[in-house]
Amino acid sequence: EDKVVQSPLSLVVHEGDTVTLNCSYEVTNFRSLLWYKQEKKAPTFLFMLTSSGIEKKSGRLSSILDKKELFSILNITATQTGDSAVYLCAVAIIQGAQKLVFGQGTRLTINP
């Protein structure tokens, strides 16, 4: 069974802290790993990673994939209260069509 596990499930930090969110996976037919931010409703796309060791960066967010150890991390530096959200990791697998297998999410709370 395809599985994506995120840790921690919940994290509370102070504004300005740096956080690291973890995602490990065991899937067949891996295609890519995606990170999403979910605030109220729709997950919004952050990163798609397909190659090991290549960091993707967008402002204060960055992410990297390790296909040998089957995990990814999402880093957020200098956190702000607007970063408070649930962060979802999903693995795209190909079985005919592409589908996403999601982790349970990490609820990040940034306190002022």
Tally of residues, the chain = 112
Q: Residue 44 or 80: which CB sits closer to another protein?
A: 44
| Residue among 17 and 100 whose Cβ is closer to another protein | 100
Residue (71 or 102) nearer to another protein, CB: 102
Please state the φ and ψ torsions of residue 24, each to the nearest 5 degrees: -120, 155
Cβ count within 10 A of residue 102:
14
Question: Could you tell me the smallest distance in angstroms from the CB atom of residue 91 to another protein?
Answer: 11
Residue 72 burial class via C-beta count within 10 angstroms: exposed 0-12, middle 13-18, buried 19 and up: buried
For another protein, the closer of residues 17 and 24 by Cβ is 24
Q: How far is the CB of 22 from another protein (least distance, A)?
A: 16
Min CB(74)–another protein separation in Å = 15
Point out which residues bind another protein (CB under 8 A).
31-32, 34, 36, 41-45, 48, 88, 90, 92, 94-105
Token pair recorded at residue 68: 């040998």
**Residue 41, by phi and psi: left (phi above 0), alpha (psi -120 to 50) or beta?**
alpha
